[in-house]
Amino acid sequence: MDTRLLLTFTALARTGSFTAAASELHLAQSTITVHIRTLERELGTRLFDRLSTGALLTEHGRALLERAEDVLDAVARMRAGTGEEVRGPVAVGAPESLCSTRLPGVIAGLRTSHPEVDVRLYAAGTAESLEGLRSGRLDLALLLEEDAGFRDVTTQPVTREPLVLVCAPGHPLAERAGAVTWAELAGESFFLLEQGCSYSDEFERRLLAVPGTRSRPTRFGSVDAARSCVAAGLGLTLLPLTTVVEQLHQGRLVQVHGPGLADVPVRLARHRRRWTGPAAQAFSQELLRQSTD
């Protein structure tokens, strides 16, 4: 069987769209259609239902997907075993805060050590990253999570990110010498990252657990949006220190000493069953090297 047919099949299963699969594989949409029809004819079964909303795997298609991925992994292993130069794409999902702080240095380091590795970075929260690993859309992901024993995804610790509460210089809490209590924080306005951000979710949970709390945090999908609202004096935010260092040094933001906030762990995640290719291995090594320097 031509492995190109399996590659097209897994791309269509992952994207659910003939157009998206064609774009991903740099093929004409008509070629995707021919590949799928050829594979279905060879196997004697229908693999996709063609719907107005896209291509949906049939029961036979779902049964084939895992085996097809195993075959493609085996082919990739054989190619990597030929001693060729480390090269090719590696798709990495990570929270926006890491995309803008830690990962640019990793990509710069790879361009020196392995210039043929093409890092494709996607800003994604935990749920989206886990889905990307399971579907094959991502090779690796960085999670701001404790090790939660995710099914079919394995993780390893990379580092820990200190968290800080910040406000504008003119905010009433900016000049507080002592630590602010949860009861005091419960009366403030907060701008936190969107649902699915583990440390924001935990902070909001503890905040709303305070009896009589009046706080109703606003959630954003952007670190910059949260920072901008806080710098304008509209409230407070909780962010990794690396994302606000510049603003603290410039005096645009001020750290508020609040109740004990544990550093959030950064974990490198990969699919438990899938092989990690040379490009992904090179990325992992550079990330770990820079995190321990």
Break the chain into its structural domains and give their ranges: 3-80, 88-160+265-292, 163-262
Inform me whether the pLDDT recorded for 277 exceeds 90: no
Regarding predicted confidence, which is higher, 81 or 259? 259
pLDDT digits (tens, 9 = 90+) for 144-179: 887 767 778 899 999 999 999 999 999 999 888 788
Mean of all residue pLDDT scores within the chain: 88
Instruction: Tell me the CATH architecture of domain 163-262.
Output: 3-Layer(aba) Sandwich (3.40)
Inform me whether the pLDDT recorded for 77 exceeds 70: no
pLDDT digits (tens, 9 = 90+) for 251-266: 999 999 988 788 999 9
Residue 81 confidence class, pLDDT cut points 50, 70, 90: low
The pLDDT assigned to 266 comes to 93
What SS3 state is found at 240? strand
- 167, 236 Cβ separation under 8 angstroms: yes
- CA dist 256 and 173 (Å) reads 7
Residue % of the chain over a pLDDT of 70: 95
- Tokens of residue 233, six digits: 């004096």
> Average pLDDT, stretch 55-63?
91
> Average pLDDT, stretch 268-279?
84
Q: Does domain 88-160+265-292 have CATH number 3.40.50.300?
A: no
CATH numeric code, 3-80: 1.10.10.10
DSSP 210: S
DSSP 90: E
Residue 166 backbone dihedrals phi, psi, to 5 degrees: -135, 155
- CA dist 155 and 271 (Å) reads 9
Region of 152 please: left (phi>0), alpha (psi -120 to 50) or beta: left
pLDDT digits (tens, 9 = 90+) for 201-250: 889 999 989 998 877 789 988 899 999 999 999 999 999 999 999 999 99
Question: H helices of 114-234, where?
Answer: 126-135, 182-185, 198-208, 223-231
The pLDDT assigned to 76 comes to 67
> Average pLDDT, stretch 86-95?
88
Same fold: 3-80 with 88-160+265-292: no
